Amino acid sequence: MNPHDTINDILVNLFNEILKLEEEAIITDEFKDITNNDMHIIEAIGLTGENTMSVVARKMGITAGSLTTAVNGLVNKKYVTRLRSEQDRRVVFLKLTEKGIRAYEHHREYHRQMTDAVISRLDDEEIPVLLKTLNGLSEFFRGYKNNIKK
């Protein structure tokens, strides 16, 4: 295979493997009542308690309506609470419960292990090359996403 085909093959397989393995790794017995997408919403909400519905929807790249549906499920399952702003009752803050914080930490630990597995195989000169490559890939996806919306 030529380098172009090899890189394409690696990227396609890597993306598919990451999605499948991440779901298997983070949806454990303790968190079997949520989906991988729910876990990413929990990650987007974060630990501050200062993220609003609109901020989380923007981070996720979804509509407020889609987020509302997902958050309703997470509230019912006791991962998330909603708090209305005292200054503007239209603004709704999302906050993780203790159960939500455990899920967030579990997900963060998986990502730490994944990142450590990559970095541990590189020497100091290779890390900047990987960063440049991943940034280029990220820029491609952002640009591609923006072009689709036009």
- For residue 149, what pLDDT is reported? 61
Q: Report the distance separating Cα 61 and Cα 59, nearest Å.
A: 6
pLDDT digits (tens, 9 = 90+) for 56-80: 999 998 998 999 999 999 999 999 9
Query: Nearest to residue 60, comparing CAs of 77, 48, 43, 75?
Result: 43
| Long-range contact pairs involving 137-143 (C-beta distance under 8 Å, separation at least 24) | 137/11
pLDDT digits (tens, 9 = 90+) for 71-127: 999 999 999 999 998 898 889 999 999 999 999 999 999 999 999 999 999 999 999
Residue that has been written with the tokens 């990142």 in this structure: 115
The tokens of 2 are what? 């030529």
The mean per-residue pLDDT over the stretch 29-44 comes to 93
User: Which amino acid makes up residue 67?
Assistant: L
Cβ within 8 Å of residue 114, ≥6 positions away: none
C-beta neighbour count of 94 within 10 angstroms: 26
